[in-house]
Amino acid sequence: MRRALLALLLFTTALSAQSDQPSRDELSKWIDDMRAAIRREDWSEASRISIRINAALLMRTRSTSTPILELQHLQVIAGSDPIRRNPFLARLAKAAFNAGDYPRAVGYAGEALDAAKHGVFWWTGDAIHQGNIVLGRLALQKNDVEEAKRALLAAGKTPGSSSLNSTGPNMQLAKDLLDRGEFATVIQYLQECGNFWEGNRGKLAEWIVLLKAGLKPDFGPNLNY
């Protein structure tokens, strides 16, 4: 916990000048509130505040830091305790892949999928989705198209999460498979995603229509979610 606090304090100092982010005073108050929760051993509240601070910082660091720095930051924040670590595994797997650290990407993705087997928590859907997306992209690097297709469909079977339900699925692996002509698999994936992405505002239907016509949709920001 002390390591996580130190990392958060360092990032607060570096990012406090950004006007579109919480001010330095706001971040300091959140950190003080988290310390107070720790002192009274209110771990649920401490975790909630920690996640709030981390999310605010990562929104900015995604555009200002290198993939390696983001991975290192997540590693410090996640720590080794499973209760604290499990919610970060999906992002760790994705960050490791983006940083080109493929052995760690495999490890984190496998860890995320294993953790998701032990109950349904708020992070379970993201672990299943991102863990399979990362493993599928790694499979394509080895030209194992069948394994990549299996992983994509497994990613679509996620129960969803607050983020997936609002922003929708990651479409990078789907795009990579489309580039290899695997239209039927991507259509099936999108149909699976309809079970959790109810607020897609017609995007899923539009994408499926285009794919059935042999066209590749513009997935926009969903390539990075």
107 and 174 housed in the same domain:
yes
Domain that holds residue 216: 65-223
82 and 163 housed in the same domain:
yes
Higher-scoring residue by pLDDT: 33, 105: 105
| pLDDT score of 196 | 95
132 and 96 housed in the same domain:
yes
Residue by residue, what is the 3-state secondary structure of the chain? CHHHHHHHHHHHHHHCCCCCCCCHHHHHHHHHHHHHHHHCCCHHHHHHHHHHHHHHHHHHHHHHCCHHHHHHHHHHHHCCCHHHHHHHHHHHHHHHHHCCCHHHHHHHHHHHHHHHHHCCCCCHHHHHHHHHHHHHHHHHHCCCHHHHHHHHHHHHCCCCCHHHHHHCCCCHHHHHHHCCCCHHHHHHHHHHHCCCCCCCCCHHHHHHHHHHCCCCCCCHHHHCC
70 and 158 housed in the same domain:
yes
Q: Return mean pLDDT, the chain.
A: 86
57 and 69 housed in the same domain:
no
Give backbone dihedrals phi and psi of 52, rounded to 5 degrees, phi first: -65, -45
Q: What CATH number corresponds to the domain at position 122?
A: 1.25.40
| pLDDT score of 21 | 60
55 and 103 housed in the same domain:
no
104 and 60 housed in the same domain:
no
Could you give the number of structural domains in the chain?
Answer: 2
Indicate the residue among 12, 45, 64 that finishes a domain. Answer: 64
| pLDDT score of 79 | 87
Indicate the residue among 41, 64, 87 that finishes a domain. Answer: 64
pLDDT single digits (tens) 144-195: 999 999 999 999 999 999 999 999 999 999 999 999 999 999 999 999 999 9
What percent of the chain is predicted at pLDDT more than 90?
Answer: 60
158 and 197 housed in the same domain:
yes
90 and 147 housed in the same domain:
yes
31 and 79 housed in the same domain:
no
pTM for the complete prediction?
0.73
- N-terminal to C-terminal alpha carbon distance within the chain: 28
With cut-offs at 50, 70 and 90, classify the pLDDT of residue 214. Answer: very high
107 and 15 housed in the same domain:
no
Return the closest-CA partner of residue 139 out of 131, 127, 147: 147
Indicate the residue among 10, 44, 64 that finishes a domain. Answer: 64
pLDDT single digits (tens) 50-74: 777 777 666 655 545 688 888 988 9
